[in-house]
A and B are shown apart, each in its own frame.
Chain A
Amino acid sequence: MALIELTDIKKRYKTGDTVTEVLKGISLEINEGEFIAIIGPSGSGKSTLMHILGLLDVPSDGTYLLEGKRMDDRSDRQLAEERRTGIGFVFQSFNLLARLNVLQNVMLPMTYAGVPSRKRKARALELLQTVGIGDHANYRPNQISGGQSQRVAIARALANRPRLILADEPTGNLDTASSDAIVDQLQTLHRAGNTIVIVTHNPEIADHTDRIIELRDGRIIHDGAPKAEAPKPATAALPAPTKQRRVL
């Protein structure tokens, strides 16, 4: 069974009398352990698709199955609960809370999930070590660089061991060196078994993934391995996903 199964997903927005259909029937499957890039020009619907995948928005039509369970008919409250443990978000603008320090930012999703305080702290420290900024736990977000901020955001996304990590232009606000480091980081997570979907308009970033889904005008126009990729055994690169995923 696929981790995520979208069937004929449509999304319409109403502005006054005009109805704009942003997604015109998207069907795709995402399997556990995949590393996917969703690309497309602005206005192609990739952000909307990401919001729907991330349970931040509901489709107007079509079905969404997450681990076989319908998600398109859930209440706001149920969606919040699914997001809490099911999805880890990484945003372009990091979205760290300025009043909390790095450690507390990473602990936040666990707070909502009701993880006891001591466990939260231990896991947050461990995650910060994993992304390589364990020594910055007590810094404020405004005291660290953009690259470091995005690492904190990645650590936060991993906090509740989500089934899917959604990264929306994760390198959009970073210089090349930091970008590469973040992409490396995401690849490392992927190799450890995490399912990752990156939304980007940057083909170079997309080329680091195993599968590219290209959108245009609300439809998928291409779905497959990166074209310029040197022959690479796509499946063999995934070392026993389900078990190792729990390491993080």
Chain B
Amino acid sequence: MIFENISMALRSIAGNKLRTFLTMLGIIIGVGAVVAINSLGQGLKQVVTQEVSNLGADVLVITSGKTGISSSSSGSKAGGGGGGGGGGFASSLGTSTLTEQDITTVQNDSHVSVVAPLSLISGIVERGTTQDPSALIMATSPDFLKADPSEKLGSGRFLTAADNDSYVAVIGSDTSNTLFGSGTNAIGKTVTLRGHSFTVVGVLASSQASQGGSSFGATSSLDDIALIPTNTAKTLTGSTLQIYRILAQAKSKDDVQPAVNDLTNEIKANHGGQDDFSVLTQQDILNTFNTIFDALTGAISAIAGISLLVGGIGIMNIMLVSVTERTREIGLRKALGATSGMVLSQFLIEAVVLTVIGGMLGVAFAYGLGHAVGHFAKLTPVFTVGTIATATIISAVIGIVFGIAPAIKASRMKPIDALRYE
């Protein structure tokens, strides 16, 4: 019986293609929008997760200001702050709250193996008249590459302890391309920072788009940067450095949480009890991203879901029209011995077939839309079997919810009244 009903519904759909398509459009757009948003959201989440994972599970990032995403143990309540943006809004405006003493504290912690501070130096990287105005200048220690495993050296060497007061620099791959042209080996050449000539000793490897994660957060990479020794930077600026953040590598995964707890307490003591910094782990950053993305995807999906409601009302409308148009058919079926229940299930199944086909077309639409948007946004949308199954189930539920009233109307018709209907 169900098989007959489905084939009957398909025949009725095939007999009225344009009308059926227009009716389904609401469902197609609704399901399409929700599925596309979710798949793109999943895609974005995957990229972010990948990038943050590149940091390594045992990396700690200590930033100035309260980010609200710091480790649970610090009991944060202030909001704001992106994953790598560093600092609550207010504290990010002022000077960094991190001090040289904090670096020492981190270095002395028993759970930490490698420490590398990063300090931001103002200035422009130049080579003769060529400028790279977007390049950041950072001072760091020779341990930087160990503290941030996501960064790799492309050519030359990194800063060493022997470079302490030398005017040498390691530059990012983009900076090298901008100043020296792509394909040119920059090693041994000089760049000018704040009027001083620096010899380029190394170039960082270009981070691939998909794994460009770094201690700077998920989206920025060290492709456009000049790294110089800390002491040289001090001489250059003639003042204490603005410590942008401190990277630390825990001795092992098990040392991560103790290190977070220790450092939180110790740095707080350094700061006279002020909770004006954050100790972040990869997991903290991931959790925050996931929370934000889930909320965002959910909210946008809910808005897109409204079109499903509209689509459902469209289905109900067309089914009511269909029931009226087919009054004689209903009468005949009843005369031939169909019970009210059989008529009800026929029209209900027809509505469900309509919405499920609409839902499948919606998934196909979402697939196209997702890949089109993904192409421009440089994302790969993620379509799982679960997504498709959920879309189908939701479509079927819409068919039942909005098809039940027309089906009841059909089932309640009296056979003689229905047969007499013209």
Residues 324-357 of B at the A interface (beta carbon under 8 Å): 328-329, 332-342
Asked if A109 meets B15 with Cβ closer than 8 Å, knowing A56-B419, A57-B416, A91-B419, the reply is no
Contact of A80 among B1, B11, B332, B334 (CB under 8 A): B334
Closest-by-CB residue of B relative to A86 is: B337
Are A113 and B337 in contact, CB atoms less than 8 angstroms apart? yes
How far is the CB of B330 from the nearest CB of chain A, in Å? Answer: 11
0/1 interface trace, chain A 139-157, chain B, CB 8 Å (1 if under): 0000000000000000010
Chain A residues with Cβ below 8 Å from B12 are 99
Task: Give complex CA distance A89, B328 in Å.
Answer: 14
Are A56 and B337 in contact, CB atoms less than 8 angstroms apart? no
Are B337 and A81 in contact, CB atoms less than 8 angstroms apart? yes
Are A83 and B337 in contact, CB atoms less than 8 angstroms apart? yes
Identify the interface centre among B15, B337, B339, B341: most chain A CB within 10 Å of its CB.
B337
Asked if A85 meets B419 with Cβ closer than 8 Å, knowing A95-B328, A99-B12, the reply is no
Are B15 and A84 in contact, CB atoms less than 8 angstroms apart? no
Are A109 and B336 in contact, CB atoms less than 8 angstroms apart? yes
Residues 73-111 of A at the B interface (beta carbon under 8 Å): 76-77, 80-81, 83-85, 89, 91, 95, 97, 99-100, 108-109, 111
Task: Give complex CA distance A84, B341 in Å.
Answer: 14
Chain B residues with Cβ below 8 Å from A160 are 337
Are A77 and B340 in contact, CB atoms less than 8 angstroms apart? yes
Are A112 and B342 in contact, CB atoms less than 8 angstroms apart? yes
Are A80 and B337 in contact, CB atoms less than 8 angstroms apart? yes
How far is the CB of A209 from the nearest CB of chain B, in Å? Answer: 22
How far is the CB of B235 from the nearest CB of chain A, in Å? Answer: 89
Task: Give complex CA distance A83, B414 in Å.
Answer: 14
Asked if A85 meets B329 with Cβ closer than 8 Å, knowing A56-B415, A56-B416, A111-B4, the reply is no
Q: Say which size band chain B's interface belongs to.
A: 20 to 34
Are A111 and B1 in contact, CB atoms less than 8 angstroms apart? yes
How far is the CB of A81 from the nearest CB of chain B, in Å? Answer: 7
How far is the CB of B401 from the nearest CB of chain A, in Å? Answer: 25
Chain B residues with Cβ below 8 Å from A85 are 337
Q: Say which size band chain A's interface belongs to.
A: 20 to 34
Chain A residues with Cβ below 8 Å from B338 are 80, 84, 112
Chain A residues with Cβ below 8 Å from B333 are 108, 112
Task: Give complex CA distance A47, B278 in Å.
Answer: 89
Chain A residues with Cβ below 8 Å from B342 are 112
Chain A residues with Cβ below 8 Å from B414 are 57
Chain B residues with Cβ below 8 Å from A89 are 335-336
Chain A residues with Cβ below 8 Å from B416 are 51, 56-57
Chain A residues with Cβ below 8 Å from B332 are 91, 95, 97
Closest-by-CB residue of B relative to A157 is: B336
How far is the CB of A141 from the nearest CB of chain B, in Å? Answer: 12
Closest-by-CB residue of A relative to B7 is: A104
Task: Give complex CA distance A97, B335 in Å.
Answer: 13
Contact of B339 among A81, A91, A108, A111 (CB under 8 A): A81
Chain B residues with Cβ below 8 Å from A84 are 336-338
A54 within 8 A of partner (CB): yes
Residues 367-413 of B at the A interface (beta carbon under 8 Å): none
Chain A residues with Cβ below 8 Å from B340 are 76-77, 80
Task: Give complex CA distance A56, B416 in Å.
Answer: 6
Task: Give complex CA distance A97, B337 in Å.
Answer: 15
How far is the CB of B332 from the nearest CB of chain A, in Å? Answer: 5
Are B337 and A109 in contact, CB atoms less than 8 angstroms apart? yes
Closest-by-CB residue of B relative to A83 is: B337
Contact of B336 among A57, A83, A100 (CB under 8 A): A83
How far is the CB of A166 from the nearest CB of chain B, in Å? Answer: 10
Chain B residues with Cβ below 8 Å from A77 are 339-341
Task: Give complex CA distance A51, B419 in Å.
Answer: 11
Task: Give complex CA distance A97, B12 in Å.
Answer: 11
Asked if A99 meets B419 with Cβ closer than 8 Å, knowing A80-B339, A111-B4, the reply is no
Closest-by-CB residue of B relative to A156 is: B336
Residues 123-170 of B at the A interface (beta carbon under 8 Å): none
Closest-by-CB residue of B relative to A112 is: B337
Closest-by-CB residue of A relative to B418 is: A56
Closest-by-CB residue of B relative to A51 is: B416
Asked if A99 meets B337 with Cβ closer than 8 Å, knowing A111-B1, A111-B4, the reply is no
Residues of A in contact with B (beta carbons under 8 Å apart): 51, 54, 56-57, 76-77, 80-81, 83-85, 89, 91, 95, 97, 99-100, 108-109, 111-114, 156, 160
Besides A56-B335, A112-B336, 8 other A-B contacts (C-beta < 8 A): A54-B335, A56-B334, A56-B415, A85-B337, A89-B336, A91-B332, A108-B333, A112-B338
Residues of B in contact with A (beta carbons under 8 Å apart): 1, 4, 8, 11-12, 15, 328-329, 332-342, 414-416, 419
14 sampled A-B residue pairs with Cβ under 8 A? A51-B416, A57-B414, A80-B334, A80-B339, A81-B337, A81-B339, A83-B336, A83-B337, A84-B337, A84-B338, A85-B337, A97-B332, A112-B338, A156-B336
Interchain residue pairs A-B with the least CB separation, the first 5: A84-B337, A80-B339, A109-B336, A112-B337, A95-B332
